[in-house]
Amino acid sequence: MRIEAESDGVSASRKHLVFAYYVTGHGFGHATRVTEVVRHLILAGHDVHVVTGAPDFVFTSEIQSPRLFIRKVLLDCGAVQADALTVDRLASLEKYSETAVKPRASILEIETEWLNSIKADLVNTLHFADPCKANTRKQVSDVVPVACRAAADAGIRSVCVTNFSWDFIYAEYVMAAGIHHRSIVWQIAEDYSHCEFLIRLPGYCPMPAFRDVIDVPLVVRRLHKSAKEVRKELGIDNDVKLVILNFGGQVITYLRPSHSVKPEPSGWKLKEDYLPEGWLCLVCGASESEDLPPNFKKLAKDAYTPDIIAASDCMLAHILQETAFGKNYASDKLSGARRLRDAIVLGYQLQRAPGRDIDIAIPEWYVTAENQLGQSSPSSPVGVGGSVFGIEDFEILHGDVQGFPDTVAFLKGLSELGEKHTRRERKAASSLFNWEEDIFVARAPGRLDVMGGIADYSGSLVLQMPIREACHVALQKVHPSKHRLWKHAQARQNAKGGNPKAVLQIVSYGSELSNRGPTFDMDLSDFTDEEGNPISYEKANKYFAQDPSQKWAAYAAGAILVLMHELGVRFEDSISMLISSAVPEGKGVSSSASVEVASMSAIAAAHGLNIMPRDLALLCQKVENHIVGAPCGVMDQMASACGEANKLLAMICQPAEIVGLVEIPNHIRFWGLDSGIRHSVGGADYGSVRIGTFMGLKMIKSKASEELSELRADGVNYDEVEQDDIELLKQEASLDYLCNLLPHRYEALYAKAIPESIIGETFLEQYNNHNDAVTIIDQKRTYSVRFPTIHPVYENFRVKTFKALLTSATSNDQLTALGELLYQCHYSYGACGLGSDGTDRLVHLVQELQHSAASKAEGVTLCGAKITGGGSGGTVCVIGRNCLKSSEHIFEVQKRYKKATGYLPFIFEGSSPGAGKFGYLKIRRRAVHATEDDSSLSPP
């Protein structure tokens, strides 16, 4: 017997089960989702006790059955919100503490007793010979943490059903609002670890505390009417495309023509051109007095939303029933807090606790997670005398970990790949390497742009500091006959004849946070044409751009094609790569360059290529310019490849001449503050400013040529003109880099010749081209020219002055002058159109503290700040005196920014060496840990 066809759900059971279903107190959405699962379980013949704080009607309106029992108890609180979009983080933590932490002992006692009472009254007559199936009771939690622990105490199996978990959500709240509540995170993670597995719904966030995962489709309420009936009732033709506008009963979003979704303040007006032609928007919660455009239609207040939305079939209840019978979906249990900590260390990069002098990669309070729960603390990864604990599985044949905790953690993660994994990335990585072959490991840091920034492509001097956060790449080359292929890669080879061919397979950790695929693979023959020659960079760019979720692979795989083109390298062996980056993406600290440099370094090491760090950086720039398609300069790659810890890499970008490493004086310190606004050098603003700069260069050269021609046309005897002036005009007429133009020459001869802006078509008519190989002029677009031209001329001068000041006598005037140069650079970025509200706010907060009465009384602390890198968001560089008070002021800036914006800036501090200084590791596994046919694993 089966449930009626409309449910296609759970088989009616021959065994009667009792389910305790705990529902989080965060919103009605969870309760309505639970209702549909509960309905299916009851139809299958089971009893369901719903433990909830939601009103009864949420359940009884859809379920009328004596098998439904509702128990009104609230065991968590979710998030405290002022409205649909505003979360009070501190209030949320404090309320959770009051709701679930302080009364925890009594909650566990009461819940355990209640769960046992269900057994005595309802299922105590059922017995099974198999001890694994002796318990027919089942506890389900819609993400209520303490319910998992209570079930374990009562000897009942438990499952969580959700697309987010409170340990991950509250971790951000702790950093933003109240680190004294941080033990909440670890306790929640431990509670979750008691459940059998996670049933994960679409739209999920990282949930590392759970030990096993089953992905299911969307869970929604059942339909009462067909789509055809709904359209007929609303008077909508079948060929009209529908979109629904709804958020918690409040209309707060709409679709623009660019298909982006943007929050609007109260009082906004919907406009007809917000929707593409042929679309109709059904608006939920619109006020009766609101007049809508003709392509927007109000829904009635009591409209049943599931009838309007396309609903997925509910298969969830079947999994719950089978688990209650004893089916084992889960693997061996580990500490939930430990898994959460490991996930943070290996790529999730939750923000650091302020006020701590923490090591390179592991924030102190994450390391002590298990101590917070009264458990044994994990030993330090680096032992006495530099010996490394936790990576004994590997023999290091070349290189040295140099005591870097992040490198130790990465190697330890490699050693654990032999274990059975169910998470998507780890499952794919577990079958990546042949443990009988050598593995090469490279490390490359991100960078903080102290001075120079976008003037790099104009030939400026730049000063860059490599940061602590770095990318690690593990790489193995192996003969195609020994390569452990993923299933679909093997199928692809079989379709081509079955003979082993060289394949590239890449796993990249952190994909869940970056909205990209965790794996990439290709036949290396795709990089060659029919004659065996490397394909063009343009063709490679199109190859990687086919699938947006796979475009990230261009940063790593592109190194192979560049080596083929530039050095004539032939790749005949298969290549496996594992990428793990702690450099946050989109924050303007060169996450892309660190991936490129680490990948290129690992490839070079594995193939015996001796490439000098400078040359390696130039090759990596080609990857980003030509294969990725981002028009960046070379300073990012140079800093990542050639930098040294606690020094500024000084480089003249013509194209990449290192002029030295500048020691950072002991009394000076640099910080980076992330604005929370995502930055990209592939964005339109960066590219258009670069085009405007090259337009200005072309105009200056043209003007200089005109001046020389006029001298000749006027019949002026060159002997009557200062020869130096003639030479200067000749140099300026053939200027290769705009930064070689002196500021006073610009002001004297060229300032009036540079227009504020120009249309692309007009420029091309007058000047033919702008001579920049990595950007293309849009003829219809208007480009700013004056400020993008002025910026590199003066920035080069500012950077030279900054470098000279660093070696001058220590004084308050020195710090003030250094800070002033940063401020000038910042406002010049803004004039170019590369500023942002967030970075401007951070710079202003630094100024407030610098000029406050308290700061003046204490002496110079913070003294300057500027936007960095490509601009338009990203990170702000701050300079100040290296003292405790300066650190306190940095945290004060962080606190004030959070209060104003709701976002807590990530603080970058400290430094580490570039890839050239680190070198590479060559490692070999001492003993292979057998896994269950992991060679047949497929990447997700």
Query: What span, in angstroms and rounded, lies between the C-alpha atoms of 145 and 164?
Result: 12
Contact 80, 96 (CB under 8 A): no
Binned at pLDDT 50, 70 and 90, residue 579 comes out as very high
Is there a catalytic annotation at residue 400? no
Q: Is the pLDDT of residue 492 over 60?
A: yes
Name the amino acid, one letter, at 149: R
Per-residue model confidence (pLDDT) at position 762: 97
Q: Where does the pLDDT of residue 710 fall: very low under 50, low under 70, confident under 90, or very high at 90 and above? A: confident
273 versus 849: the higher-pLDDT residue is 849
Q: Would you state the torsion angle of the CA atoms of residues 302, 307, 311, 313, taken in this order, to the nearest 10 degrees?
A: 110
Segment among 34-38, 635-639, 755-759 with least mean pLDDT: 34-38
pLDDT by residue (tens digit) across 798-833? 999 999 999 999 899 999 999 999 999 999 999 999
Of residues 346 and 343, which shows the higher confidence score?
343
**Across 327-347, average pLDDT:** 50
Rounded-to-integer distance, Cα 417 and Cα 66, Å: 49
Judged against a pLDDT cut of 90, whether residue 647 lies above it is answered with: yes
Least confident of 382-396, 460-474, 802-816, 848-862: 382-396
State the DSSP H helix or E strand holding residue 863, giving kind and residue range, or none if neither.
strand 862-867
Nearest to 583 by CA among 869, 867, 866, 382: 869
Q: Rounded to an integer, what distance in angstroms lies between the CA atom of residue 299 and that of residue 244?
A: 10
Could you tell me which residue, 312 or 771, shows the higher pLDDT? 771
What φ, ψ does residue 710 adopt, rounded to 5°? Answer: -65, -35
Secondary structure (3-state) at 199: strand
pLDDT at residue number 444? 97
CB 622 within 8 A of CB 668: no
| pLDDT surpassing 70 at residue 359 | no
- Say if CB 180 and CB 358 are below 8 A apart: no
Residue 648 reports pLDDT greater than 90? yes
CA distance linking residue 354 with residue 499, whole number of Å: 56
Domain range annotation of the chain: 18-215, 223-251+270-328+337-348, 417-446+469-632, 685-791
Query: What's residue 597's pLDDT?
Result: 97
- Rounded to an integer, the average pLDDT of 861-874 is 92
- Rounded mean pLDDT of 394-406? 88
Q: Is the per-residue pLDDT at 382 higher than 60?
A: no
pLDDT at 131 over 60: no
Dist. CA 907–CA 914, nearest whole Å: 20
What is the average pLDDT value for the chain, to the nearest integer?
A: 80
Which residue would you say has higher pLDDT here, 135 or 666? 666
Most confident among 37-41, 104-108, 180-184, 510-514 (mean pLDDT): 104-108
Cα 328 off chain centre by: 34
Tokens of 806: 């660093």
pLDDT tens digits, residue range 544-572? 988 887 889 999 999 999 999 999 999 99
The kind and range of the H/E element at 616 are: helix 613-622
- Three-state DSSP class for 468? strand
Paired tokens of 109: 């006692």
Answer whether 147's CB lies under 8 Å from 24's CB. no
CA–CA gap between residue 438 and residue 632 (Å, rounded): 34
Q: Of residues 167, 393, 456, 636, which has the active-site annotation? A: 636
| Half-sphere exposure in the Cβ direction for 63 (13 Å, CA) | 27
| Percent share of the chain, pLDDT over 90 | 41
CATH topology of domain 417-446+469-632: Ribosomal Protein S5; domain 2 (3.30.230)
pLDDT at 679: 67
What phi, psi does 450 have (nearest 5°)? -75, -50
**End-to-end Cα separation, the chain, in angstroms:** 35
Q: Hey, is 611 helix, strand or coil?
A: coil
Res. 234 pLDDT band, cuts 50 70 90? confident
**Which residues touch 723 (CB under 8 Å, ≥6 apart)?**
none
Q: What is the pLDDT of residues 244-289, one digit of tens each?
A: 776 544 433 333 333 333 334 344 577 888 778 888 888 876 777 7
Instruction: Say if pTM beats, i.e. exceeds, 0.75.
Output: no
Q: What is the pLDDT of residue 727?
A: 87
Q: What is the pLDDT of residue 838?
A: 93
E strands of 231-275, at which residues?
Answer: 241-245
Structure tokens at 846: 């630094």
Q: Does domain 18-215 have CATH number 3.40.30?
A: no
Q: pLDDT per residue over 159-217, tens digit each?
A: 888 888 888 888 777 766 555 677 788 888 888 888 888 888 877 777 878 878 887 77
Q: Regarding predicted confidence, which is higher, 830 or 333?
A: 830
| pLDDT at residue 533 in the model | 94
Which of 492, 500, 438, 443 is CA-nearest to residue 469? 443
Lowest mean per-residue pLDDT among 126-140, 232-246, 720-734: 126-140
Range 114-143 average pLDDT: 46
pLDDT, position 258: 33
